[in-house]
Amino acid sequence: MPHNIDIFDSTLRDGAQAEGISFSVADKLKIVKTLDELGVAYIEAGNPGSNPKDIEFFEKVQSLELKNARLTSFGSTRRRNTSVEDDKNVQSLLTAHTPVVAIFGKSWDFHVTDIIKTSLEENLLMITETLAFFKKKGKEVIFDAEHFFDGYKNNPDYAMKALKAAVDGGADCLALCDTNGGCFPSEIYDIVKKVKARFGSVKIGIHTHNDGGMAVANTIMAVEAGAEHIQGTYTGFGERCGNANLSTVIPNLQIKRAFTCIPEEQLKNLTYAARKIAEIANINLNERDPYVGNSAFAHKGGMHIDGVNKASSSFEHVDPERVGNKRRFLMSEVSGRNTILEKIREINPAITKDSEETEAIIQRLKELEHEGYQFEGAESTFELVIRKQLGKYKPFFELEHFKLMNEQPTKAGLSASALIKVKVDGTSEITAAEGDGPVHALDKALRKALEIFYPELSKVHLTDFKVRVIDTKSATAAKVRVLIESTDGESIWNTVGVSTDIIEASWIALVDSIEYKLLKELEKKMKVYL
């Protein structure tokens, strides 16, 4: 029967081991707050004795008042032939002052004899004595059975003895780890089922990696077999190919299988939390992530769009609003007239299918597409085009002029500078900025000038910049299409510009990005007043 599932997030520990990820202390504290607000049960925060950054983090995190999560420190069993009391790494876990400790130990005989080079008997003592030490200190203890599934397939008897040693030491939970990430769901199910039958009095957990692309499926199958504790990272990043993506696991179990993973009212914050954590980590959230990705509820084919408009369940497995996401209809050559009409009606509900306004908008879109514009993945520019045609657009600023200067060789990544002068409501502002290339410098200079009038732009920055040559036969005189992705840490939007001049194309997309953000902020204010 469905019941509560403990969500154990390892973004700050396993996630920090991902290529290209480096958290500051401030980053870690922000992620702790985000995960706690979401309602996860455990937050694994790292090893307090591993480096000065983690020492500082554990000192500062004590001041946070967590509402839902139990902070967890992470470390290994004692070293071979060393007493627990003399092992500095074990002792350092006490300095974290966390109510929970996660201890990993070897359960694969190959790792015992060939990697840490000790006897099978000594390894079992290392597990039991380390866990017993923390239980005597009043800690909740989770045992991470490292390489458990490979160990079980190689020597099931010894893998089970490792778990028994953890139980003898007082483990509150046995987390079975697919450390190499190569198991199949059927293997996970069968092995977890056997562990559950053997150690039913202890909570069984699962920790999977995604090296075979099956971390989420393996996690789900472990729960089907009786696991009640799930370890993963919220956006799925981690060592090598990453960990089980909790932003996928949680809604799958809670919406599809009626388990309780987080408070029900927090499901609507799944997308927001994923984008916020990705923003803190300075990575782009995978747009095709289930439930929370930008493309998770994006429809392009005319038949699909028509079906969703008639009954959303025809092409959507869940309501996007339930997980805090939104439905998107992609503008393309296969979208159809009805799709364009739906977008028009979002701005003016009174517009009809055969009205003059609709015809004028369609004609303008055809003209732009002929020039090289492509609105698939640039819905923000598409919306601005519609507003301009309907007379529901007013520029937020006027460009007086800008100048760009390139410098070679580059110095410290700053290869260009921009000088820009803009006017807002009759007031001019001139400013300059350096950047890694002319577009970056222009972006920084523009926002720097406009932030004086619109402080909300301080949160906006570009997260992606793509250039596509449209007519390659024209060589250096070819038209280019520039697609810009922007974010304010909560929302993501895309704009497009086309020109034979890459700077002009970039400027068009950049202006649309700024104007779209300011337009949405204005709409928010108007709703408040209404």
In a domain, residue 41? The reply is: yes
pLDDT (0 to 100) of residue 102: 98
CA-CA distance, 440 to 438, in Å (whole number)? 5
pLDDT tens column, 162-213: 999 999 999 999 999 999 999 999 999 999 999 999 999 999 999 999 999 9
Residue 530: pLDDT band with limits 50, 70, 90: very low
Asked if residue 395 belongs to a domain, the reply is: no
The string of DSSP codes covering 196-227 is HHHSTTSEEEEEEB-TTS-HHHHHHHHHHTT-
Instruction: Give the CA distances from residue 110 to residues 81, 104, 115, 119, in Å, rounded to whole numbers and listed in that order.
Output: 19, 16, 7, 11
Residue 454 tokens read as: 């619109």
CA distance 290 to 217: 13
Q: Which amino acid is at 277?
A: I
Q: What is the pLDDT of residues 203-229, one digit of tens each?
A: 999 999 999 999 999 999 999 999 999
Percent of the residues in the chain that have a pLDDT greater than 90, as a whole number = 69
Q: Which of 375, 390, 405 is the last residue of a domain?
A: 390
Most confident of 297-306, 403-412, 478-487: 478-487
Q: Give exposure, 486-501, as e/b (b: 16+ Cβ within 10 Å).
A: bbbeeebbbbbbbbee
Q: Which of the listed residues 390, 417, 438 is the one where a domain comes to its end?
A: 390
Query: Are residues 270 and 236 part of one domain?
Result: yes
- Of 314, 278, 275, the residue nearest 15 (C-alpha): 278
**What's 269's domain CATH number?**
3.20.20.70
SS3 256: helix
- 124 and 243 belong to one structural domain: yes
Q: Which structural domain, as residue segments, surrounds residue 346?
A: 298-390
Q: Are residues 252 and 305 in the same domain?
A: no
Per residue in 82-135, pLDDT tens? 999 999 999 999 999 999 999 999 999 999 999 999 999 999 999 999 999 999
- Whether 433 maps to a domain, the answer reads no
Contacts of 76 (CB under 8 A, 6+ apart): 89, 90, 103, 104, 105
pLDDT band at 523 (very low <50, low <70, confident <90, very high): confident
State the alpha helices, DSSP H only, in 372-437.
379-390
Nearest to 202 by CA among 163, 244, 252, 231: 163
| In a shared domain, residues 312 and 276 | no
Same domain, 244 and 355: no
Please state, rounded to an integer, the average pLDDT across all residues of the chain: 91
Q: Do residues 100 and 139 both lie within one domain? A: yes
State the DSSP string of 290-328. Answer: TTTSTTTTEE-SHHHHHHHHH-GGGT-SS-GGGGT---E
Comparing CA positions, the residue from 230, 241, 228 lying closest to residue 201 is: 228
**Peptide bond preceding 156: is omega within 30 degrees of 0, i.e. cis?**
no
3-state secondary structure of 339: helix
Same domain, 225 and 315: no
Residue 432: what are its φ and ψ, rounded to 5°? -140, 160
Reading phi first (left if > 0) and then psi (alpha if -120 to 50, else beta), residue 181 is in left
Dihedral sign of CA atoms 106, 110, 114, 119 in order:
positive
Residue 386 covered by a domain:
yes
> Which tokens is 476 given?
């250096």
pLDDT > 70 fraction of the chain, expressed in percent and rounded? 94
User: What DSSP line would sit under 113-160, residue for residue?
Assistant: IIIS---HHHHHHHHHHHHHHHHHTT-EEEEEEETHHHHHHH-HHHHH
Q: Tell me, what amino acid is at 207?
A: H
The span from the CA of 216 to the CA of 283, in Å, is 21
CA-based nearest residue to 302, from 341, 357, 256: 341
171 plus 319 within the same structural domain = no
Parallel, antiparallel, or unpaired: how do β-strands 480-487 and 6-9 relate?
Answer: unpaired
When divided into structural domains, the chain yields a total of 2
Q: What is the pLDDT of residue 303?
A: 79
Q: Which residues contact 260 (CB under 8 A, 6 or more apart)?
A: 2, 3, 4, 5, 254
Q: What is the pLDDT of residue 130?
A: 98
- Residue 161 has what pLDDT? 98
Whether residues 29 and 139 fall in one domain: yes
CA 266/CA 321 separation, integer angstroms: 12
Note whether residue 483 is domain-resident: no
Q: Note the pLDDT of residue 425.
A: 94
- The CA distance from 229 to 174, in Å, is 9
CA distance 319 to 300: 18
Among the candidates 373, 390, 407, a domain finishes at 390
How far are the Cα atoms of 1, 11, 154 from residue 225, in angstroms, in the given order?
12, 25, 21
Q: What is the pLDDT of residue 331?
A: 65
Is residue 513 in some structural domain? no
Q: What is the pLDDT of residues 26-67, one digit of tens each?
A: 999 999 999 999 999 999 998 887 778 888 999 999 999 999
pLDDT per position as a tens digit, 238-284:
999 999 999 999 999 999 999 999 999 999 999 999 999 998 888 88
Give CA–CA dist 406/412, Å, rounded: 14
Give the integer Cα–Cα distance in Å for 212 and 183.
7
Expressed in angstroms, the distance from the first to the final Cα of the chain is: 47
Name the residue among 289, 238, 287, 279 with its Cα closest to residue 463: 279
* Same-domain check for residues 271 and 365: no
Tokens 């060393």 correspond to 82
- pLDDT of 53 reads 84
Region 323-344: mean pLDDT is: 74
DSSP string, 37-57: HHT-SEEE---TTS-HHHHHH
Q: Is residue 410 part of a domain?
A: no
Report yes or no on 517 lying in a domain. no
Rounded CA gap, 49 and 295, in Å? 41
**Mean pLDDT score, 508-512:** 96
200 and 341 co-located in one domain: no
- My answer on whether 61 and 164 are in the same domain is yes
